[in-house]
Amino acid sequence: MKRFENKVVMVAGGASGIGAATSEAFAREGAQVVVADIQDAAGHSLVEGLVGAGGRALYLHCDCTDAGQVEKTVAQVIADCGGLDVAANVLGGAHRDDVPGSTLHNTSDEAYDSTMAISLGSIFMLMKHQVSHMMTHGGGVIVNVSSMASLAAEKHATLAYGIAKAGLNHLTRFAAADYARYNIRVNAILPGITATPMLRNNFSEDEIIEMCAGQQAIVRPVEPYEQANTILWLASEEAAMITGVLLPVDGGRSAFGMQGPPASAVARDLIRA
């Protein structure tokens, strides 16, 4: 029997990148997958592929920064699929002006508010309705996607995004503590450099490897399916005693205390490569 046979899984932000890989992975493991996103063309195409491969999936349009749409979409998942067992909240992004190297004094109110809405407010609203159902239906599992940028101030990070994801970490732990008595587990993964289509569209392979060499123990990017596999494990019964955990999936970046590997280690690994 597949790990998520007869389970209903909502993947918010599930149409592209880590979200799409997560939708695909849950479908392969037998889940009824609901992809909720604003990328309609990508979402419909993904779902068509999942159904064509023998999976069970549907797509729902949802702007997760809109409280009304979030409430309606979670309710529709429950109505259409008969419940909600697992939620993977794979959401995040920054306003166009919240750029790497942004600082407090030059971050606009618009950039801050927009980034917070996308990367924290959306997941707050999703979780509010997800746990409300799970509390009265035997429990469930929520896995959020945070970021390594949530753990420390970084020279090339974006200010508002880092703040939002740090808030998501705290939200994850608060929810884990509050809802364990309802048999609800809540965890988050913290992706490092991940080879999403967006990353590969903006950087060459050599540039990506150079970024990894400066930050990680394993000198290659994490693949989206590797992030998805971690989400599936946290959502599975194999992780039944794990809740409130912020799990880096970062190629060993956190082993260096967020400062990156020493120069000697980088040189050694590049020579080996």
- Measure the CA–CA gap between 242 and 235, rounded to whole angstroms: 9
Given a contact cutoff of 8 angstroms between Cβ atoms, the answer to whether 11 and 26 are in contact is: yes
Sign of the torsion angle spanned by Cα atoms 154, 117, 167, 194: negative
Catalytic residue among 59, 112, 161, 179: 161
Is residue 179 part of the annotated active site? The answer reads no
Task: Just list the catalytic residues.
Answer: 161
